[in-house]
Structure 1
Amino acid sequence: MNRINIDDVDLNLFKVFEALAEEGGASRAAIRLNMTQSAVSAALRRLREVFSDALFVRTGRGLAPTSRAKELKPIVSEALDRCRQSLAIASPEATSFHGRSISVGMSDDFEIALGRQLIETVARMAPGVRLIYRQTHSQIVSDALANQEMDLAVFAGAFAGRGLRHQLIGEGSYACLIDATQHKKRRTLSVDEFTSRAHVLVSSGGVVGIVDEVLAAIGKRRTVIASTTHFASLPHLLKGTKAVATIPEHAAVAISRMTGLALLPCPIDLPKYPVAMGWRSNAMRDAAIVRVHAAIVGCFEASVLRLLGGDER
């Protein structure tokens, strides 16, 4: 096989590769890059020649990456990130970031509670940045960051990984949600009332949650009638029933405000948990990521202050 010289390769091809990998289709990549679809298709043909691989194969839902493309994606994205960082050095006080996309990993409880606020904050602090929310959780976040699947990540807990950094940005607690029409207008549930109700569990595993662990320690159990991996489905699962869901308080507050579900304190003593943000060590050389990082920290600080203020009133 002949060795390919970088002088013979149009480096713009790598932008097309990244767009195809992230958008999953030539037409969507063309829109993102402000190119014609035929130009993107031509670039893909050249990429296939360069790497001697199909790279992307057509499926019923667009283009899916081959094993070689999956291997190349973090390498290409890291190289492009370095190029973006070099441009940031040339213009460290950039006031506009049009055309930039920053991917933020978070589970949908954080997205429900802070997603809109973060969009508005980023629009002020980093005009032109497009946020891409990606689902993640603490068990997969380090690999997702290392593999360039996201630029920043918000998650419960902490992690360690080579080339990765994280900082604590908050502390989480839990609250209960029920259908107010199925409740006697009291502002609390006793432990016995809590355990006698059917429960809807939000869990990636779908079997045992922190509530079960704490109840077991005091010799009690609950009955879980359904589990889901998404907090957004809770209003549909709880409305018209006497079931209860125990979830992170930030999500419970947001869902209660939006849906009218009753927000109640949890009658058992559940442990608080740390909330952290993670990123690749070299990411802070990118001015756009720095701005979004600061926006996330600011949103968490504002959220904590707002909740405290509401309690005092």
Structure 2
Amino acid sequence: MNPIDTLNLDFRALSTFLAVLDEGSVSRAAVRLGVTQSAVSHTLERLRQALGDPLFVKSGRGIVPTRYALQAGPHVRQILDDLQSLSAGPPFSPATAEFTFTIAANDYQRDLLLPGLVKTLRREAPGISLQVIPSGIPSAEMLRKDACDLIVSPHAPEATDIMQRGLMADRNVVFYDPDYRKPPENLADFLKSDHISLVFGTGERPSFEISLNARGLTRRNVVTVSNFSGLPEFLRGTDMLATAPQLMSKHLLRDFAWVPLPFELKPFTLLMLWHRRNQNDPAHKWLRNQVNAVAAAMNKLNP
């Protein structure tokens, strides 16, 4: 008998293999799949016997995939994608679809891109509702556990089952109220000024502040807020400075002037993130294309 005949190649067995491959841990794979560790171990043992390869071996306190497992990974992913395509049902029709699509985005990304998406939905897919939740510093688990369908963020979790696409580039600049002060002339002027700073709900500080600290530089933060929406009213009518993405000059910080940062800092890219299981889903693909179209239109306006 062919060894492969002894294996029940069902969706669960293949998903278990990929979960262990992605997580590098039986226990974490069990949490991701919502099953017990013994169930994962039992499925792996069936796979080992059928395929004639250990698949995963101990290394220190963890496990590592064998060469066979690494080579099989892409093929198994394709099989799962094909199985999902077979069960996708009839072709997707935006005009008649009715469901809620959840996007995780912080206030900067939300206000920049999602109003344009809503206009598209109201025009072309009136039965699709949009729910927006905060992303914080996004994790792969948000997508794995269906807390959201899509994430828009400059931060991408390192995980092989999370897909990504770049939407648009931006950079941090210095905003100020031109009725109350002149722009900072140099780095020394920037550092001695009073600042409005951000500490996100997760406790994470913006990348530019981390860069400053790495250079041994400090600034005087007199007000700290938890999101970008708190900047305008504190900035208005004062001589303080606020560092934020340049594209916020198109909406939230449109009433203020800005100048480049007085030190080198790399631009960043806003990313669209989704789980691999939704890669070929017709509705998900259509919505991703609409988000990308909004970003592309903005890129043309902001070359």
Per the normalisation by structure 1, the TM-score is 0.62
Aligned to 1:62: none
Q: In structure 1, how many angstroms separate the alpha carbons of the residues matched to 2:288 and 2:204?
A: 34
Change (3 A) 1:97 1:290: farther
The partner residue of 2:153 within 152, 155, 171 is 155
Partner Cα separation in structure 2 for residue 125 and residue 228 of structure 1: 37
Query: What secondary structure is seen at the aligned counterpart in 2 of 1:159?
Result: coil
Structure 2 counterpart of 1:272:
267
Work out the CA distance in 1 between the residues paired with 2:204 and 2:85. 44
Which string of whole-angstrom CA distances, capped at 9 and with x for unpartnered residues, describes residues 121-147 of structure 1?
A: 333443321111111033x33111111
Is the aligned partner of 1:229 residue 2:239? no
Partner of 1:14: none
Who is 1:15 aligned against?
none
- Match for residue 79 of structure 1? none
Structure 2: which 5+ residue stretches go unaligned? 1-33, 36-83
Question: What pairs up with 1:1-313 in 2 under 5 angstroms?
Answer: 89-90=89-90, 92-138=91-137, 140-161=138-159, 163-184=161-182, 189-204=185-200, 208-216=205-213, 220-257=217-254, 260-308=255-303
Q: 1:101 to 1:121 in 2, by over 3 A?
A: same
User: Does the residue aligned with 2:251 lie in a helix, a strand or coil?
Assistant: helix
Amino acid at match of 1:274: T
Deviations 1:198-240 (A, max 9, x none): 1111232558543334334555321111222211111112112
Q: In structure 1, what is the equivalent of residue 20 of structure 2? A: none
Q: Flag the 1:206–1:226 CA change in 2: closer, same or farther, 3 A.
A: farther
RMSD: 2.7
Query: Scaled by the length of structure 2, what TM-score is found?
Result: 0.64
| Equivalent residue number for residue 53 of structure 2 | none
Higher helix proportion (structure 1 or 2): 1
- Cα deviation, residue 171, structure 1: 2.4
Question: Partners in 2 of 1:121 and 1:264 — Cα distance?
Answer: 33
Q: Which amino acid aligns with 1:177?
A: F
Q: Percent identity?
A: 20
Kept after mapping to 2: 8 A contact 1:164/1:281:
yes
SS at match of 2:147: coil
Amino acid at match of 1:112: D
Counterparts of 1:276 and 1:236 in 2: how far apart (Å)?
A: 29
Q: Give 4+ residue runs of structure 1 displaced > 6 Å after superposition.
A: 84-87
Structure 1 spans left out of the alignment, 5+ residues: 1-70, 73-83, 309-313
